[in-house]
Chains A and B, each alone.
Chain A
Amino acid sequence: MLPIKLLKWIAFILSSLPLLILILGIINFINLGPNIVEAVLHRTGNTSLNLLMIVLLLPLMAKHSLFRNFIILSRMLGLFSFFYAALHLCVYLFIDRNMSILSIQDDFISRPYILAGMIAFLSITPLALTSFRRAQIRLKELWKKIHQLVYLGTASGIIHYIWQMKIDLSLPMLYLVGFLIILELKKGFRAT
Chain B
Amino acid sequence: MSKTWSQKLKIKQFKDFEVTPEDLFKNRRALLKSAVALGLLPSRSYGHVTDIEGYRPWDQESPGILNSYEDITNYNNFYEFGLDKADPARYSHTLETHPWQVEISGLTNKPGVYDLEEIIQSMQLEERVYKLRCVEAWSMIVPWIGFSLGSFLNQFEPQTNATFVQFFTLYDTDMMPGQRSRVLDWPYREGLTMEEAMNPLSFLATGLYGKTLPNQNGAPIRLVVPWKYGFKSIKSIVKIVFTDQKPLTSWNQANAREYGFYSNVNPNVSHPRWSQAYERVLGQGFFTPRVPTEMFNGYGEQVAHLYDGLDLQINY
- Chain B proximity mask over A99-116: 1 for CB below 8 Å, otherwise 0: 010010011001111000
In the docked arrangement, what's the CA distance between A77 and B255, Å?
38
* A37 & B286 in contact (Cβ 8 Å cutoff): yes
* A35 & B282 in contact (Cβ 8 Å cutoff): yes
In the docked arrangement, what's the CA distance between A33 and B72, Å?
10
**Given the complex, which residues of B lie within 8 Å of A141, measured CB to CB?**
none
* A3 in contact (CB, < 8 A): no
* B286 & A164 in contact (Cβ 8 Å cutoff): no
* A111 & B184 in contact (Cβ 8 Å cutoff): no
Would A95 and B275 be within 8 Å (CB), given that A35-B75, A35-B280 are in contact?
Answer: no
* A150 in contact (CB, < 8 A): no
- Chain B proximity mask over A105-131: 1 for CB below 8 Å, otherwise 0: 011001111000000000000000000
| Pick from A33, A37, A107: contact of B280, CB under 8 Å | A37
Cβ of A6 to closest chain B Cβ, rounded Å: 35
In the docked arrangement, what's the CA distance between A149 and B274, Å?
28
* B273 & A111 in contact (Cβ 8 Å cutoff): yes
Residues of B in contact, count (CB < 8 Å): 32
Looking at B68, B270, B275, B286, the one whose CB has the most chain A CB atoms below 10 A away is B286
* B204 in contact (CB, < 8 A): no
- Chain A proximity mask over B281-299: 1 for CB below 8 Å, otherwise 0: 0110111011000000000
In the docked arrangement, what's the CA distance between A160 and B138, Å?
21
**Given the complex, which residues of B lie within 8 Å of A34, measured CB to CB?**
67-68, 70-71, 74-75, 140, 282-283
Chain A contact residues: over half helix, strand or loop, or mixed? helix
**Given the complex, which residues of B lie within 8 Å of A26, measured CB to CB?**
286
The closest CB in chain B to the CB of A171 belongs to B83
| Pick from A40, A106, A112: contact of B286, CB under 8 Å | A40
* A184 in contact (CB, < 8 A): no
* A98 in contact (CB, < 8 A): yes
* B136 in contact (CB, < 8 A): yes
**Given the complex, which residues of A lie within 8 Å of B74, measured CB to CB?**
33-34
* A113 & B183 in contact (Cβ 8 Å cutoff): no
- 17 A-B pairs besides A110-B270, A167-B184 with CB distance below 8 A are A33-B74, A34-B71, A34-B140, A35-B75, A36-B285, A40-B286, A95-B286, A95-B287, A96-B280, A96-B290, A97-B290, A103-B277, A110-B272, A113-B273, A167-B83, A167-B183, A167-B255
Q: Which residues of B contact A (CB under 8 A)?
A: 67-68, 70-71, 74-75, 83, 85-86, 136, 138, 140, 181, 183-184, 254-255, 270, 272-275, 277-278, 280, 282-283, 285-287, 289-290
